[in-house]
Amino acid sequence: MLNVNNVRKDFPILNRQIDGNRLIYLDNAATSQKPNQVIDTLVEYYKQYNANVHRGIHTLSEEATAAYEDVREQIKDFIDAGESKEIIFTANATAAINLVAESWGRTNIKAGDEIVLSPMEHHSNLVPWQMLAKEKGAKLLFLELTDDGQIDMESAKDWIGPHTKLVAITQMSNVFGTINPIDKIADLAHARGALLLVDGAQGVPHLPTSVKSLKCDFLVFSLHKMLGPTGVGVLWAKREILEAMPPFLGGGDMISSVKRESFTANELPWKFEAGTPNIADVIASGAAINYLNKLGMQAVREHEIELSKYFLARFAEFGAAHGESNGVDDKLILYGPRDVNKRGGVFSFNLGDIHAHDIGQILSDQGIAVRAGHHCCQPLMKDLGVAGTARASLYIYNTNAEIDALFTALKAARKVLGHVAIR
DSSP string, 227-284: TS-SS-EEEEE-HHHHHHSPPSS-SGGGEEEE-SS-EEEPPTTGGG--SS--HHHHHH
Give the CA-trace dihedral at 225, 228, 230, 236, to 10 degrees: -70
Element (H, E) at 166: strand 164-170
Buried b (16+ CB within 10 A) or exposed e, 211-220: beebbbbbbb
Query: How far is C-alpha 332 from the chain's CA centre?
Result: 26
State the helix-helix crossing angle for 297-320 and 400-417, rounded to 10 degrees: 30
* HSE toward the beta carbon, residue 391, CA cutoff 13 A: 27
Residues forming beta bridges with residue 390, ordered by sequence position: 349, 372
Does 216 qualify as catalytic in the annotation? Answer: no
Longest Cα separation, the chain: 75
* Cβ 176 vs Cβ 336: under 8 Å: yes
Q: Helix (H) and strand (E) counts for the chain?
A: 15, 19
Catalytic residue among 91, 265, 328, 376: 376
Phi/psi zone of residue 149: left (φ > 0), alpha (ψ -120 to 50 degrees), beta? Answer: left
* Whether the bond into 269 is cis, omega within 30 of 0: yes
* Cβ 190 vs Cβ 215: under 8 Å: yes
Show which residues are catalytic. 376
